[in-house]
Amino acid sequence: MPARQDQLLEALQESHGPALFRFVAHMTHDTNFAEDVVQEALLRAWRRPEVLVLSDDSARAWLFTVARNLVIDDRRSARYRREIFTEVMPDSSGPDETNLALDAWILSDALSALSDHHRKAVVAAYYLGQSVTEISRQEGVPEGTIKSRLHFALLALRLTLQEKGAIQ
């Protein structure tokens, strides 16, 4: 490139580059893309030496038109239509709780298969955290009966869960 052409391009960039950048950034809301568009518009001016010798207003109008067309072409492109722009990253996925839900469902089904006395004893002891003494007072039966109910309820639960394939 001749020295004069270098100087003309440099003068064009200094004179119109910042305004052109603001124009494109305002249109696209993307500073990285705006920088690329300004660079491409100046590159096209360099490839067309006749633009470099236009009057200041005409060169400015040419640059802004080229930049506007570059933005429009990009927005019409398939690449742009398929991209999703967002300022916020999507939430990261949490742990998979499907197995917990299935386990709760299977256990609930197994508990419903127990007799009322056995189910009340298991729920009171293992879900409500009550002691054997508290359960026996609440049910009005001896502690030994509650211990027996818990023992046989757990055996029945184990058998039901094995039949369902939930445990080995």
pLDDT digits (tens, 9 = 90+) for 8-53: 888 888 888 899 999 999 998 889 999 999 999 988 888 888 887 8
CB atoms within 10 A of CB 141: 15
Number of structural domains found in the chain: 2
Grade residue 90 by pLDDT with cuts at 50, 70 and 90. Answer: low
**20 in any annotated domain:** yes
DSSP 8-class letter at 37: H
**36 in any annotated domain:** yes
- Write down the mean pLDDT value for the chain: 86
Contact 24, 67 (CB under 8 A): yes
Q: Are residues 78 and 111 in the same domain?
A: no
Lowest mean pLDDT among 19-23, 74-78, 80-84, 124-128: 80-84
**91 in any annotated domain:** no
**51 in any annotated domain:** yes
